[in-house]
């Protein structure tokens, strides 16, 4: 399934549509966002600001940003950026994945694909022009 986004607002609103949160008994909810620089990955995650009442900043330099939330059984929102990372050693990534109270959005997950769990949902972003993006995902 895919959708064309014609603005940042449409990209932010799409996260609400895709985010069909259901907690698992064994692991976190994981969404992996893939696409070239400027394709809309961080803008998409910023769509969560209204849902959770927080301000989301890009984790590019910190790699992992954690936010406290209280939403449908989730207590933590993790925004992870593996743009310059190809090894998760020392990042407690495996522990983050195991906690069913964690809602996780990962940018550039293909850089550490061997560490991404099979249950993760992948979302692909394609830059079409200045304002338009093609966003593909499975529900």
Instruction: Output the pTM of the full model.
Output: 0.90
Domain span at residue 85 reads 2-137
> Among 137, 115, 108, which residue's Cα sits nearest to residue 11?
137
The first and second tokens of residue 107, run together, are 């940018």
Question: Mind listing the pLDDT tens digit for each residue in 90-100?
Answer: 788 999 999 99
The answer to whether 123 and 33 have CB atoms below 8 angstroms apart is yes
Work out how many domains the chain is built from and give that number: 1
**CATH number where 101 lies:** 3.40.50.300
DSSP bridge pairs for 32: 106, 122
Alpha-carbon torsion (8, 36, 3, 128), positive or negative: positive
**How much is the mean pLDDT over the chain?**
89
40: left (phi over 0), alpha (psi -120 to 50) or beta: left
């Amino acid at each position: 399934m895919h959708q064309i986004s014609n603005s940042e607002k449409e990209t932010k609103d799409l996260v609400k549509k895709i985010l069909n949160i259901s907690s698992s008994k064994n692991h976190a909810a994981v969404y992996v966002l893939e696409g070239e620089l400027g394709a809309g990955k961080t803008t998409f995650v910023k769509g969560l600001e209204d849902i959770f009442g927080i301000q989301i900043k890009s984790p590019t330099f910190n790699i992992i940003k954690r936010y406290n939330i209280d939403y449908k059984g989730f207590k933590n929102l993790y925004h992870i950026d593996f743009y310059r990372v190809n090894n998760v050693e020392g990042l407690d990534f495996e522990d983050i994945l195991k906690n069913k109270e964690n809602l996780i959005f990962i940018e550039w997950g293909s850089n550490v694909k061997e560490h991404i769990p099979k249950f993760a949902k992948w979302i692909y972003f394609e830059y079409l022009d200045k304002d338009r993006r093609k966003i593909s995902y499975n529900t």
